[in-house]
């Protein structure tokens, strides 16, 4: 079987063009979309993620600010920053880069972001809207996966989807989105018995675990669609996913590479959410 390798970079480029046009339309009316990223501490991966988000914001015409707080910043300090940004009309999207240092309660911080500026889609209000089928801001990674599946013309209605990972930012919202498209969804996690017995019957497998090469060719059925969300840094410096990519070639219908698959789509969806936040604010004004 010929395996199609889904090119997340090319797809993200196309989508960003459309986002840029929407941002320009808002700018013409004096309503340039604005995004703030807050980073606390010195986590090297977080630094890379935030700088990518800032760079892409500029590319698509979103005004962006980067707030950097030291690892010893207090929860109260972070809450005060968020409250000030909630009231700032130039800012339509606020994201707090995770993970936060252990002394800060992540839930409290995410709940402090105004739901209409919560472009990561992590506020309980937005999680609830997604769960009830009225999504406002969908978490960026699962939104990116859905955009990929749609653009690739992959049918979901009535098909078996197996997600590995049950985090609030990837696995759970991914399950809701696939369910809303008519897939029969199974969520697996670290307590799942016999993971392969689930993945082998899936038409669509989404791996969001954080374990290099966890999913090998023996775990998927011929002709499946395999989406690799994982990002893992090996000791030799290489970046790999949760899927043994090479082993999939010739066996599955479609697979996403790492890097160059889901990652660029995640950043693109953040831009889409920010422009949407600015459009909604402009309509409400
Ligand atoms: P997470 O919060 O650590 O969740 C990982 C999930 O995997 C958990 O539900 C865990 O189960 C499950 N798990 C761990 N070991 C397992 C095993 N051996 N078998 C089955 N399930 C297992 O991670 P996350 O934030 O969802 O991220 C997952 C991966 O995606 C990471 O590599 C992350 O870097 C990457 N990521 C990529 C993007 C992107 O843009 N491409 C965006 C976000 C995240 P329990 O719940 O039982 O512990």
Atom of ligand 1 nearest to the CA of 232: 32
Instruction: Assess if residue 188 is contained within a domain.
Output: yes
174 and 210 part of one domain: yes
Q: How far apart are CA 132 and CA 128, in angstroms?
A: 6
Q: What is the pLDDT of residue 285?
A: 81
Instruction: Assess if residue 229 is contained within a domain.
Output: yes
Q: How far apart are CA 167 and CA 146, in angstroms?
A: 17
97 and 36 part of one domain: yes
Instruction: Assess if residue 150 is contained within a domain.
Output: yes
Place of tokens 């690739």: 152
40 and 150 part of one domain: no
Instruction: Assess if residue 255 is contained within a domain.
Output: yes
Report helix angle 171-180 to 140-151, nearest 10.
40
**148 CB under 6 A from ligand 1?**
no
243 and 144 part of one domain: yes
- By the 10 Å C-beta count (0-12 exposed, 13-18 middle, 19+ buried), 92 is classed as buried
- Of 204, 151, 216, 212, which Cα lies nearest the Cα of 175? 204
**268 CB under 6 A from ligand 1?**
no
95 and 158 part of one domain: no
Instruction: Assess if residue 124 is contained within a domain.
Output: no
Q: Ligand 1, atom 41: nearest CA belongs to which residue?
A: 263
CA angle 27, 123, 260 (to 5 degrees): 65
257 and 148 part of one domain: yes
Which of the 8 DSSP states describes residue 219? Answer: G
Instruction: Assess if residue 127 is contained within a domain.
Output: no
Task: Please state the domain count of the chain.
Answer: 2
Q: What is the pLDDT along the chain (285 residues), one digit of tens a residue?
A: 999 999 999 999 999 999 999 999 999 999 999 999 999 999 999 999 999 999 999 999 999 999 999 999 999 999 999 999 999 999 999 999 999 999 999 999 999 999 999 999 999 999 999 999 999 999 999 999 999 999 999 999 999 999 999 999 999 999 999 999 999 999 999 999 999 999 999 999 999 999 999 999 999 999 999 999 999 999 999 999 999 999 999 999 999 999 999 999 999 999 999 999 999 999 988
Instruction: Assess if residue 94 is contained within a domain.
Output: yes
86 and 165 part of one domain: no
Give the predicted TM-score (pTM) of the model.
0.97
99 and 145 part of one domain: no
93: CATH: 3.40.50.10860
Q: How far apart are CA 275 and CA 245, in angstroms?
A: 34
pLDDT in tens, 78-105: 999 999 999 999 999 999 999 999 999 9
152 and 232 part of one domain: yes
193: CATH: 3.40.50.720
CA atoms within 13 A on the CB side of 257: 12
Of the three residues 99, 114, 129, the one that is the final residue of a domain is: 114
Give, in order, the Cα–Cα distances in Å from 51 to each of 6, 47, 217, 267, 282. Answer: 25, 6, 35, 11, 27
- By the 10 Å C-beta count (0-12 exposed, 13-18 middle, 19+ buried), 72 is classed as exposed
Backbone angles phi, psi at 273, to 5 degrees: -65, -40
Q: How far apart are CA 24 and CA 22, in angstroms?
A: 5
Catalytic residues: 53, 97, 120
pLDDT in tens, 222-261: 999 999 999 999 999 999 999 999 999 999 999 999 999 9
| CA–centroid distance, residue 191 to ligand 1 (Å) | 13
Of the three residues 80, 114, 148, the one that is the final residue of a domain is: 114
Instruction: Assess if residue 11 is contained within a domain.
Output: no
158 and 109 part of one domain: no
Instruction: Judge whether 11 and 143 are in contact, CB under 8 Å.
Output: no
Place of tokens 């930012």: 169
**259 CB under 6 A from ligand 1?**
no
174 and 243 part of one domain: yes
Residue of 6, 142, 189, 211 best suited for mutating to test ligand 1, as the one with most atoms within 8 Å of CB:
189
Please give the residue range of the domain that contains residue 198: 140-262
258 and 144 part of one domain: yes
| CA–centroid distance, residue 91 to ligand 1 (Å) | 31
Q: How far apart are CA 57 and CA 54, in angstroms?
A: 5
């Amino acid at each position: 079987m010929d395996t199609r390798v889904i090119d997340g970079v090319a797809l993200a480029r196309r989508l960003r063009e459309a986002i840029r046009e929407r941002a320009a339309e808002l700018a013409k009316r004096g309503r340039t979309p604005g995004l703030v990223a807050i980073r606390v501490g010195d986590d090297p991966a977080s630094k890379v993620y935030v700088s990518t988000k800032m760079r892409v914001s500029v590319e698509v015409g979103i005004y962006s600010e980067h707030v950097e707080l030291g690892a010893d910043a207090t929860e109260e300090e972070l809450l005060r920053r968020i409250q000030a940004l909630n009231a700032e009309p130039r800012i339509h999207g606020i994201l707090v880069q995770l993970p936060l240092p252990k002394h800060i309660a992540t839930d409290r911080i995410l709940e402090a972001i105004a739901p209409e500026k919560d472009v990561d889609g992590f506020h309980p209000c937005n999680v609830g809207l997604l769960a009830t089928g009225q999504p406002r801001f969908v978490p960026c990674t699962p939104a990116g996966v859905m955009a990929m599946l749609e653009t690739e013309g992959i049918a979901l209605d009535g098909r078996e989807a197996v997600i590995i990972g049950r985090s609030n930012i990837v696995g759970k919202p991914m399950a809701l989105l696939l369910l809303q498209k008519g897939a029969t969804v199974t969520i697996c996690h670290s307590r799942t018995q016999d993971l392969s017995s689930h993945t082998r019957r899936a038409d669509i497998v989404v791996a969001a675990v954080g374990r290099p090469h966890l999913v090998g060719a023996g775990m998927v059925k011929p002709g499946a669609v395999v989406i690799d969300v994982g990002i893992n840094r090996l000791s030799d410096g290489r970046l790999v996913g949760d899927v043994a990519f090479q082993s999939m070639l010739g066996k599955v219908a479609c697979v996403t590479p790492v890097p160059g698959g889901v990652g660029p789509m995640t950043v693109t969806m953040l831009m889409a959410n920010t422009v949407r936040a600015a459009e909604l604010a402009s309509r409400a004004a």
